[in-house]
């Protein structure tokens, strides 16, 4: 089942093209990562799928309906978007921050039922940030904030997670923990996961499919093992990486070369 269908999308920012005739489909339960250098258009795609931006040309569908046809509340129950950074407009405890993920389900000025609170507690435990539950969100580190925002995304109980650099501020242990959890949620609950990431090693270990982008275009779209290779990495980043097969992990490792061969 196609959960997203993107057809011939183009988009511009301040008059500069950032996406050029992009088309792809994503099925329910896929784990897809969008990879490419800065300025490739990766984050713009996520924002279009989250209905934060409108495409200048082309169409984007969610469950065969135009994304624009959904109300903000309807879409917020289905799709959770995690930006690269998030700062609240006013002070909130970490608990209250995560509870805002329940907003699509709350009515009026309700502060959340016992069920809502339990969902928040579970989301914070899963993302290893329960210890911050009563802390001011702005008083914790950027990496800790990222885990709280991840809990907020989970608290909405979405069918789709759109994650823009979800581990950029996390230490290696928490980065791997987050990706393992994403993979488990995909497998156990049929969650569809779409990430934008520069961490090729972690991405290639957990994503089943990679979309490689450069200059607003899709360079390659396929199974991770077919896409993460020296041929395509050279197109995107120049002759600065090598892909080495590891018998220990039964997979590829991307390593930088000490000196670019001439």
Where in the chain are the domains? 2-228, 229-262
Q: What is the pTM of this model?
A: 0.89
CA 165, CA 187: separation in Å to the nearest integer?
Answer: 21
pLDDT value at position 260? 52
CA 155, CA 41: separation in Å to the nearest integer?
Answer: 28
Contact call for residues 200 and 118 (beta carbons, < 8 A): no
CATH class of the domain at 2-228: alpha beta
Contact call for residues 58 and 7 (beta carbons, < 8 A): yes
pLDDT value at position 108? 60
Q: Classify 240 as helix, strand or coil.
A: coil
CA 95, CA 248: separation in Å to the nearest integer?
Answer: 41
Closest CA to 219 of 232, 207, 231, 230: 232
pLDDT value at position 23? 96
- Per-10-residue mean pLDDT for the chain, 262 residues long? 93 86 96 92 94 90 94 92 81 94 78 88 93 95 89 94 89 88 90 92 90 93 89 84 82 76 52
CA 33, CA 251: separation in Å to the nearest integer?
Answer: 17
pLDDT value at position 98? 95
Buried b (16+ CB within 10 A) or exposed e, 85-119: eeeeeeebbbbbbbbebbebbeeeeeebeeebeeb
CB atoms within 10 A of CB 186: 18
CA 63, CA 59: separation in Å to the nearest integer?
Answer: 13
pLDDT value at position 113? 87
Q: Provide CB contacts within 8 A for 118, sequence distance 6+.
A: none
pLDDT value at position 151? 93
């Amino acid at each position: 089942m196609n959960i997203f269908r993107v057809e011939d999308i183009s988009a511009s920012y301040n008059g500069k093209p950032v996406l050029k005739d992009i088309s792809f489909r994503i099925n329910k339960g896929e784990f897809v990562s969008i990879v490419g250098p800065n300025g490739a258009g990766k984050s713009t795609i996520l924002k279009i799928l989250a209905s934060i931006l409108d495409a200048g040309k082309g169409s984007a569908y969610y469950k065969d309906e135009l994304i624009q046809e959904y109300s903000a509340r309807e879409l917020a129950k289905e799709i959770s978007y995690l930006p690269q950074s998030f700062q609240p407009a006013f002070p909130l405890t970490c608990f209250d921050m995560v509870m805002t993920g329940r907003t699509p389900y709350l009515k009026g000025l309700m502060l959340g039922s016992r069920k809502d609170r339990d969902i928040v507690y579970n989301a914070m435990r899963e993302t290893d940030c329960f210890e911050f539950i009563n802390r001011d969100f702005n008083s914790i580190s950027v990496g800790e904030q990222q885990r709280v925002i991840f809990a907020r995304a989970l608290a909405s109980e979405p069918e789709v997670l759109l994650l823009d650099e979800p581990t950029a501020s996390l230490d290696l242990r928490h980065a791997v923990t987050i990706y393992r959890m994403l993979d488990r949620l995909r497998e156990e609950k049929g969650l569809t996961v779409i990430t934008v990431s520069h961490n090729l090693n972690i991405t290639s270990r957990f994503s089943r499919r990679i979309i490689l982008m450069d200059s607003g275009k899709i360079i390659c779209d396929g199974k991770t093992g077919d896409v993460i290779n020296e041929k395509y990495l050279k197109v995107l980043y120049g002759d600065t990486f090598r892909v080495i097969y590891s018998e220990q992990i039964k997979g590829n490792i991307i390593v930088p070369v000490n000196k670019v061969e001439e």
